[in-house]
Structure 1
Amino acid sequence: MELWLWALIGLLALIILCLVIKIYLLRKSAKEIREAFADRLMTETNTLIDLSSRDKALRQLADSMNDQLRQLRKDRLRFQQGDLELKEAITNISHDLRTPLTAICGYLELLKREETTDAAARYLDVIENRTQVLKQLTEELFRYSIAASAFDDMACEEIALNDVLEESVSVYYAALKGCQICPQISMPKQKVRRTLNKNALSRIFGNIVSNAIKYSNGDLQIVLQETGELVFSNHASALDEIQVGKMFDRFYTVETANKSTGLGLAIAKMLTEQMNGSIRAVYQDNILSIFIFFPK
């Protein structure tokens, strides 16, 4: 009797050991699938998920996920090709428009020198104003397409956010003064250094300051923190939360923005994210705040 009992206990122990090993192998295979799938999503590779387990169900799961990865790769290539073609089309269109627009502006200037009636002079002013807006939009389109397609060729280097911020604000000093805006800048004494592209960062800061010139009620506060976060704040009573939520959308403009193309903040967002930074806008108590953060 005792022999049968020991045999039964041994059999149960063997079954439990097999189950423990099976569970361990299943958990190991599940971990392999999870890590491999995450890696394939994050990297540009043709390598599929390779599973060491012989379990039929897990191998079917891996095969199914590989099918999805193949489809995702096709969709990604199709999107990249379409995005490239769109950028090239925008570049070509904006380039083709610049020449006739320049000629139109030149002839309008000559026409304004001729004797005209008061009504004709008013019409010419309207035409010239609309032509300048179209010319500005064309220039922004060209710059946007160049920035979107050529960023990979831009060299990044270690720079001090303090210095670039000061340079960017000084460039817009005359425009700020013309709008009676006296910027209040607060930054730490020590240099906040990051590895970024200086030209792209200057463009980001410049576009945000330009945005403040359009919407500010007469103030602008800029704070640079030691963590690398920057905050641009100004009172903007003409805006609301819905408008602020769309400010980073391409070609979105607010009616109060004179001669705005709706590309300034879209370019700032694109360049910020391409340099692994983050940018967001918050509107509270009639104050527009734009937060930018570049991690180390």
Structure 2
Amino acid sequence: MRNISHARITKVIVFLLAVVCLTGAVKAAVDMEVKSIHLSTINEENYYDSQAFVDESYGLIAPLAELIALYKSEENILSGKALTEEDMHFIEETFVDSFPPYEQNPNWSEAESNRINQERYAAYVKREKEKRINEQVKIYYRLIAELKEKEGILYYGSNGEQKFANSQFQKKQQFESYDAYMLFEGYQHKLYPAEMKNSRSIHNSPYVVEELNPQTDVIYIAFEKSFLQQKTQEWLDGKDTAQHLLNQFLVFLAGFILSFVYLIVVIGRTSFKDNEIHFNVMDKLYNDFNIIIVVSLTMWWIFMMVEVFPDRDVYMLLTILIFSIALLMSLSLVKHIKNRTILSHTLIYQLLKKAFLAVKHVFDSGSTGVKVVLLVIGYPVVVAATFFMFPITIGVAAWLALKKVKSFNRIKEGVEQIKNGELHHHIEVKGKGELSQLATNINQITDGLRKSVDSEIKSERLKTELITNVSHDIRTPLTSIITYVDLLKIEKDPEKIAEYIDVLDQKSKRLKHLTDDLFEAAKASSGSMPVQLEKIDIVSLLTQGIGEMDEMIEASALDFKLAYPTEKVYMKADGKLLWRAIENLFSNIFKYAQPASRVYLDVEDLEDEVRVTFKNISAFELNISADELMERFTRGDESRTSQGSGLGLSIAESLIHIQHGKFIVQVDGDLFKVMIYLPKISNE
């Protein structure tokens, strides 16, 4: 099957099968139209439920109802009594259209104008009424002639004065003796047999007989047995024919769909694994020409079916030829759809593409002045060259101009908003033109300005917090010093004096520590601190530091866990500054770590750099972010009851940065983690 599924002979056979099936489906549909076959007949259960019975009964009831309710007799028509309100309304409307007020003579007086209009109206109405009466007389005799042509159906209609019948029967009992009848008398409609009551005729007849006078007008209809047998047989034959033609149409349609789907799948390829679309000579025809030919052939086929060829044999031969050509061209379009060239392989697209590329080349390489000159000169030339497409040309030009104007207005409005202080406004201009580049440049300027403003606002906020925190932390020991100095002035007891002096010593040292930290933080952040980078063994530095702080570790009951690679790891750093940063981190751990918890120190080799990680559990709830912890004078305890200055992390960060490293703080619940990255030096 793989060998023959895409074979040329297989495609030809399936193509011929598709043409035959399409032609067969069309022939079945045409036969249904020619033979006036209604598909609804298939679903009809019996003759009384059929459209044929509806047409027969309605074709008799309607003329009878008109004769006895409206026309009645020729004398009644000639007297004008058959004219309805609709007739008079129509005559009045046509009079207004025929003699509008603006045709009146302006020199007439109002009385003269009214008199002339009344004469015109009377004469016009009289003439139109006579014309309408003559038409009604013709209709009256035509309806009588139609009734006389009815065979196999007995009828009687009367309005109490005039009678219309084709038999001697005038009593409803006489009509009830037949196998099928319809009686309209008074407000009741009697139908027999029972199947007739479920027929659509019961739903179509009432509006015809609504004009009957229930007190005087009656209509009796009876159907002869031979007539019913003949019509029932004709209905059965029509139902069989409709079913046969429908089955024929569905079979041919299914065959065409299956064969056409198969052709869509295999066309243009030599196998299922073939990803390339193979074209032939016919496929070189532009797709727009292809579509025009297919549409033209379809329109010609429809015109030919309706007007030109009453001979069905000749018609079917031409149908096969037209369908074959249309199907071939449709499959060519399918190839281009598969190849994604349905639009690009059109003459219009190729012409527009060349024109666009030519204009784009000029606009991409020329200045704004050159572009304006080319537009002024080139557009009239394009309009003159494509005068037959002038609406399209001017439409495209208007669209392009409107697009540029909208882009310019968007930029202008955006600049106005930015000027008014809306620094977060972003100007959206799509495309790659000059206006788009201008919008991008303005957005970049806005981004830089917004960042500068945000940085300045943050700096001002930090300055305010710095002043507040410094004032608070310095005022506390300073207040104690002043208080105890005042007490010393009046105290005579030597023991209390010694106690006061110890307190003053502690507070003064605390004040000195705060000022030293503040000075060191300012010096580190300013970048003026000298840096001497050298090869540092970070593991040895950490081990030595932990050893020097052994007493503090024991006092805090913290368990330090140091993890490091088996091979020595060296980093490029300033030993003193690096130790000062690590010392600040140790100090932070001793102050804020949960007592009797573990502290993890990890040294990791990351090829080009070394990462040192400090992890501990905070004794205080860390309900602030890592960025807020890095701000100066921020502590892990918001009550500020600890002895820290809040500058430790800030100083450590500044010290690492001036050594060309990275300092990162992370908070995960109560887990506090600091990571230091510094450049690595090889062991060689």
TM-score in terms of structure 1 length: 0.61
- 1:165-176 alignment to 2 at 5 Å? 165-176=542-553
The answer for the alignment partner of 1:239 in structure 2 is 620
User: What SS does the corresponding residue of 1:294 show, helix, strand or coil?
Assistant: strand
> In the alignment, is the contact (CA less than 8 A) between 2:538 and 2:571 conserved in 1?
yes
The answer for the alignment partner of 1:49 in structure 2 is none
Q: CA deviation at 1:204?
A: 1.7
The answer for the alignment partner of 1:282 in structure 2 is 667
Structure 1 residues not aligned, in runs of 5+:
26-53
Q: CA deviation at 1:145?
A: 1.6
Residues 1:56 and 2:437 are matched in the alignment: no
> In the alignment, is the contact (CA less than 8 A) between 1:251 and 1:263 conserved in 2?
yes
The answer for the alignment partner of 2:645 in structure 1 is 261
Q: CA deviation at 1:291?
A: 2.7
Letter of the 1:261 counterpart: S
* CA distance in 1 between partners of 2:448 and 2:604 (Å): 44
* CA distance in 2 between partners of 1:145 and 1:201 (Å): 17
> In the alignment, is the contact (CA less than 8 A) between 1:164 and 1:201 conserved in 2?
no
Q: CA deviation at 1:292?
A: 0.6
CA 1:24–1:257 in structure 2 vs 1: closer, same or farther (change >3 Å)? farther
Letter of the 1:57 counterpart: L
- 1:10-159 alignment to 2 at 5 Å? 11-18=351-358, 55-58=433-436, 60-61=438-439, 64=442, 68=446, 116=493, 119-150=496-527, 153-159=530-536
The answer for the alignment partner of 1:225 in structure 2 is 604
* CA distance in 2 between partners of 1:242 and 1:22 (Å): 62
* CA distance in 1 between partners of 2:601 and 2:586 (Å): 10
Q: CA deviation at 1:151?
A: 5.2
Larger Rg: 2
Residues 1:184 and 2:561 are matched in the alignment: yes
Q: CA deviation at 1:242?
A: 1.7
CA 1:72–1:193 in structure 2 vs 1: closer, same or farther (change >3 Å)? farther
The answer for the alignment partner of 2:9 in structure 1 is none
> In the alignment, is the contact (CA less than 8 A) between 1:203 and 1:268 conserved in 2?
yes
Between 13-22 and 266-275, the greater mean CA deviation after superposition = 13-22
> In the alignment, is the contact (CA less than 8 A) between 1:240 and 1:283 conserved in 2?
no
CA RMSD of aligned residues (A): 4.6
User: What SS does the corresponding residue of 1:144 show, helix, strand or coil?
Assistant: helix
CA 1:12–1:139 in structure 2 vs 1: closer, same or farther (change >3 Å)? same
Residues 115-149 of structure 1 show CA distances to partners (whole Å, capped at 9, x for unaligned) of 73555555444433322221110111111122222
CA 1:199–1:23 in structure 2 vs 1: closer, same or farther (change >3 Å)? farther
Letter of the 1:164 counterpart: L
Q: CA deviation at 1:206?
A: 0.9
> In the alignment, is the contact (CA less than 8 A) between 1:159 and 1:194 conserved in 2?
yes
* CA distance in 1 between partners of 2:530 and 2:504 (Å): 39
The answer for the alignment partner of 2:4 in structure 1 is none
> In the alignment, is the contact (CA less than 8 A) between 1:148 and 1:270 conserved in 2?
yes
Of 623, 629, 634, the match for 1:252: 634
Residues 167-193 of structure 1 show CA distances to partners (whole Å, capped at 9, x for unaligned) of 333343333234344522121122333
CA 1:24–1:248 in structure 2 vs 1: closer, same or farther (change >3 Å)? same
Structure 2 residues not aligned, in runs of 5+:
1-284, 290-345, 366-431, 680-684
The answer for the alignment partner of 1:33 in structure 2 is none
CA 1:226–1:115 in structure 2 vs 1: closer, same or farther (change >3 Å)? farther
The answer for the alignment partner of 1:204 in structure 2 is 581
> In the alignment, is the contact (CA less than 8 A) between 2:539 and 2:564 conserved in 1?
yes
> In the alignment, is the contact (CA less than 8 A) between 2:602 and 2:612 conserved in 1?
yes
Residues 1:291 and 2:674 are matched in the alignment: yes
> In the alignment, is the contact (CA less than 8 A) between 1:160 and 1:191 conserved in 2?
yes
Letter of the 1:211 counterpart: N
> In the alignment, is the contact (CA less than 8 A) between 1:194 and 1:294 conserved in 2?
no
* CA distance in 2 between partners of 1:226 and 1:243 (Å): 31
CA 1:72–1:187 in structure 2 vs 1: closer, same or farther (change >3 Å)? same
Letter of the 2:574 counterpart: N
* CA distance in 1 between partners of 2:446 and 2:640 (Å): 47
More RCO (CA 8 Å, sep 6+): 1
